[in-house]
């Protein structure tokens, strides 16, 4: 046995996992294990692919498509661990590996989907698909593989293939560097508060979280505001120090845009130009045309129509809200013009005046642990699931928790991991991912799903308290989690959340609706000290205020969606100035001066840290059209937990993965496709005669 063989034999990423429920043995995995494991897994799949492509047997579904689906299991296993930790608990060593592996993995993917012999086998099967006797799931897998090969450039000539391969490898490196730059900017910033003058206006829960953040950074006795949303947004909401609000806000807005080594504007310019070239090579006018052709929306014009339909009432509402904030400032003697760092501060005061809602009064009723229980109870009532917490299991960080998930008959469904707290080793935001996805092709494989959040951790001995928006985020990501956990397909390609970008947000955004159900809140929104349920009168006010500030929320989202789409609709992207383009686009839509994009271009990781949501940030809104209409289906029965509707929802949406075209899947659930009317009503953006 060579030294290399010995290293592989002892590599925990490559040995069978005998841990509870096959969880990765996190405590045994070190950074030096990843590269050898990747190299081994890549070589293994290359050998598997060569065997398929070079086979002398006539292509069949089993020896070509199923063989493709069986290939790369080790690579999925290694990558599942690595990329989850690269986002949720990274370090310098992992970041170096991530930069190193990005082009290697892109090159490997190109070698599969640009393989001429392999594509000929897939194309031959696709041409005769109607005569192969395939079941609907097999037909869907064949169709998706053919689409993937074509969109990856399998039909191009050799020179164009070389150029496209070089583009995709370079894009992989650029996307990795983009996200690492944003994380570096987020990690390096801290607003240190020292003394009562700096803390003026901050409620106790925010002070406790800021003290905890300071202690973690070796500043015991002081207070630190970070660029995590769970830290900076409440600071902007409560701090009476306008100078500190401005300072923190500008740092937040400037991530990736500081003219230093982590500045992302050059990366954006190169990325946009390469994406446009990639689209042209594949026969599309623009990258947006290419990207959207394989989604529900189909075309940029369809997306633009939706954005414009919602923009008009949203902007009108935001202007009303701005006027209310300006009047509030003047009423208390603040002779200022509202700026972006003022919006949340005065909005909180207006909300108090209009709805008598004080965040400091609401938050004690939203304990993290109780909201987790509420999400689980909702899943139990809708889908019959139960969650049994694991006490002993491998952990990549001491704060993570895990549960075994079982169905109504006590059968194991999968494992759910919750990683809830912000830390410097974690990128910002909230997301769902999988360490292992469900499938039945290679055995009865049960999923391991993770939700990652960035909530502020409570002080010593104190529970973590959430805002209502935080609780909504928890439900949102758990909706994604259920999409992965309930997956019930045979083929890995179709499992769980492997659906088009503008459909994947339906299960998550729909799930948010159940947080607002009074019967859920009465039971789980309990005061962290007294245990008393949220008072009925406070609950009524909270529900009445659900659409408060929706003009602002919709405008900041839409602005990001417009910039994303407009950038990728451009044909000429030579010498792109990302800042000038952003400003030009916002001017074109008459962006209110007092609001900025939810994600400014230099830190827009949805769009530039990979292809994921490029030309696709609109997807949240597209899916919201679906989710608003879908929840109306429950409301029409008079029961938010209607068993028949829940069964249809599970069958056609949550468990169906990518078994059907998204429009077909939604129609199977609802009987028809929706319009935007339910969305506008949900957000309270239906214009009255006076508004119009």
324 contacts: CB under 8 Å, gap ≥ 6: 350
3-state secondary structure of 245: helix
Please give the biggest Cα pair distance in the chain: 84
Q: How far apart are the first and last CA of the chain?
A: 78
Task: Mention every residue, 6+ apart, whose C-beta is less than 8 A from residue 580.
Answer: none
- Contact (Cβ atoms closer than 8 angstroms) between residue 77 and residue 41: yes
Separation CA 610–CA 560 (nearest Å): 16
What φ, ψ does residue 404 adopt, rounded to 5°?
-85, 135
Q: Which of 66, 477, 582, 624 is catalytic?
A: 477
* Cβ–Cβ under 8 Å, residues 327 and 338: no
Tell me the C-alpha distance between 446 and 465, whole Å.
Answer: 32
Tokens of 374: 């509420």
The number of residues making up the chain comes to 692
* 3-class DSSP state of 399: coil
Give the contacts of 440 (CB within 8 A, at least 6 positions apart): 489, 490
The neighbouring-strand residues paired with 414 are 405
**Token pair for 101:** 């592996």
Q: Are 366 and 527 in contact (CB under 8 A)?
A: no
- 654 token code pair: 């949550």
**Three-state DSSP class for residue 454:** strand
Query: Does residue 375 contact residue 482 with C-beta atoms inside 8 Å?
Result: no
For 599, the 3-state DSSP assignment is coil
CA-to-CA dists, residue 519 to 209, 345, 639, 647, angstroms: 30, 31, 11, 20
Taking the CA atoms of 600, 606, 611 and 613 in sequence, report the sign of the dihedral they define.
negative
Report the C-alpha gap between 430 and 391 in whole angstroms.
Answer: 24
Structure tokens at 97: 């590996």
Distance, in Å, from the CA atom of 381 to the CA atom of 359, rounded to the nearest integer, reads: 29
540 is catalytic: no
- Selection from 196, 258, 206 nearest residue 228 by Cα: 206
Which tokens go with 656? 């169906």
Helix H or strand E segment including 672:
none
Angle between helix 34-53 and helix 116-127 axes, rounded to 10 deg: 50
Q: How far apart are CA 603 and CA 257, in angstroms?
A: 8
Of the candidates 55, 71, 59, the one whose C-alpha atom is nearest the C-alpha of residue 123 is: 59
Tell me if residue 447 falls in helix, strand or coil: coil
- Residue 491 CA to residue 488 CA, distance in Å, equals 9
Q: Which residues are catalytic?
A: 477
């Amino acid at each position: 046995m060579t030294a290399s063989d010995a290293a592989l034999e002892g590599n925990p990423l490559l040995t069978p996992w005998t841990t509870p429920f096959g969880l990765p043995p996190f405590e045994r995995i070190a950074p030096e294990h990843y590269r050898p494991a990747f190299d081994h897994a890549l070589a293994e799949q290359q050998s598997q692919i060569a065997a398929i492509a070079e086979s002398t047997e006539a292509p069949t579904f089993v020896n070509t498509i199923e063989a493709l689906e069986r290939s790369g299991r080790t690579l999925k296993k290694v990558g599942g661990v690595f990329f989850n930790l690269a986002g949720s608990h990274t370090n310098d060593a992992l970041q170096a590996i991530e930069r190193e592996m990005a082009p290697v993995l892109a090159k490997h993917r190109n070698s599969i989907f640009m393989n001429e012999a392999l594509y000929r086998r897939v194309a031959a099967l696709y041409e005769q698909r109607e005569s192969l006797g395939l079941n609907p799931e097999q037909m869907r897998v064949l169709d998706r593989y053919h689409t993937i090969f074509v969109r990856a450039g399998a039909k191009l000539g050799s020179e164009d293939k070389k150029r496209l391969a070089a583009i995709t490898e370079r894009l992989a490196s650029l996307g990795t560097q983009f996200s690492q730059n944003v994380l570096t900017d987020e990690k390096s910033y801290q607003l240190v508060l020292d003394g009562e003058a700096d803390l003026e206006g901050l409620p106790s829960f925010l002070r406790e979280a800021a003290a905890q953040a300071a202690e973690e950074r070796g500043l015991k006795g002081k207070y630190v505001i970070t660029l995590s949303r769970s830290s900076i947004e409440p600071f902007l909401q409560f701090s009476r120090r306008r100078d500190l609000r401005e300072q923190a806000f500008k740092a937040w807005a400037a991530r990736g845009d500081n003219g230093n080594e982590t500045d992302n504007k050059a990366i954006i310019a190169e990325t946009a130009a390469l994406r446009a070239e990639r689209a042209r090579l594949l026969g599309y006018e623009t990258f947006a045309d290419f990207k959207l052709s394989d989604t529900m929306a189909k075309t940029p014009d369809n997306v633009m129509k939706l954005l414009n339909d919602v923009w008009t009432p949203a902007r009108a509402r935001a202007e009303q809200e701005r006027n209310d904030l300006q009047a509030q400032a003047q009423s208390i003697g603040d002779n200022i013009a509202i700026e972006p760092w003022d919006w949340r501060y005065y909005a909180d005061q207006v909300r108090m005046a209009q709805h008598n809602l004080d965040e400091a009064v609401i938050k004690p009723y939203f304990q993290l642990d109780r909201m987790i229980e509420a999400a689980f109870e909702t899943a139990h009532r809708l889908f019959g699931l139960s969650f049994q917490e694991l006490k002993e299991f491998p952990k990549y960080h001491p704060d993570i928790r895990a549960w075994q998930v079982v169905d109504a008959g006590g059968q194991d469904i999968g494992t759910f991991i919750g990683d809830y707290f912000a830390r410097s080793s974690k990128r910002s935001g909230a997301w769902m991912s999988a360490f292992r996805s469900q499938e039945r092709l290679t055995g009865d494989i049960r999923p391991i799903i993770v939700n990652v959040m960035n909530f502020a951790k409570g002080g010593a001995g104190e529970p973590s308290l959430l805002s209502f928006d935080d609780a909504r985020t928890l439900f949102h990501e758990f909706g994604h989690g259920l999409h992965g956990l309930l997956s019930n397909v045979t083929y890995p390609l179709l499992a769980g959340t492997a659906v088009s970008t503008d459909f994947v947000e339906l299960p998550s955004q729909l799930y948010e609706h159940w947080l607002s159900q009074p019967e859920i809140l009465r039971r789980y929104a309990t005061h962290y000290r007294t245990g008393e349920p949220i008072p009925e009168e406070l609950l009524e006010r909270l529900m009445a205020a659900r659409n408060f500030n929706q003009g602002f929320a919709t405008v900041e989202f839409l602005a990001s969606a417009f910039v994303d789409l407009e950038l990728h609709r451009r044909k000429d992207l030579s010498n792109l100035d990302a800042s000038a383009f952003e400003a030009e686009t916002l001017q074109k839509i008459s962006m209110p001066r007092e609001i900025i994009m939810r994600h400014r271009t230099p830190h827009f990781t949805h769009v530039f840290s990979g292809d994921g949501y490029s030309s696709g940030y609109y997807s949240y809104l597209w899916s919201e059209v679906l989710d608003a209409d879908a929840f109306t289906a429950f409301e029409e029965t008079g029961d938010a937990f209607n068993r028949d509707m829940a069964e249809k929802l599970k069958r056609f949406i949550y468990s169906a993965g990518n078994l059907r075209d998204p429009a077909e899947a939604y129609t199977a659930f609802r009987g028809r496709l929706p319009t935007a009317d339910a969305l506008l009503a949900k957000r309270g953006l239906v214009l009255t005669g006076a508004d119009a």
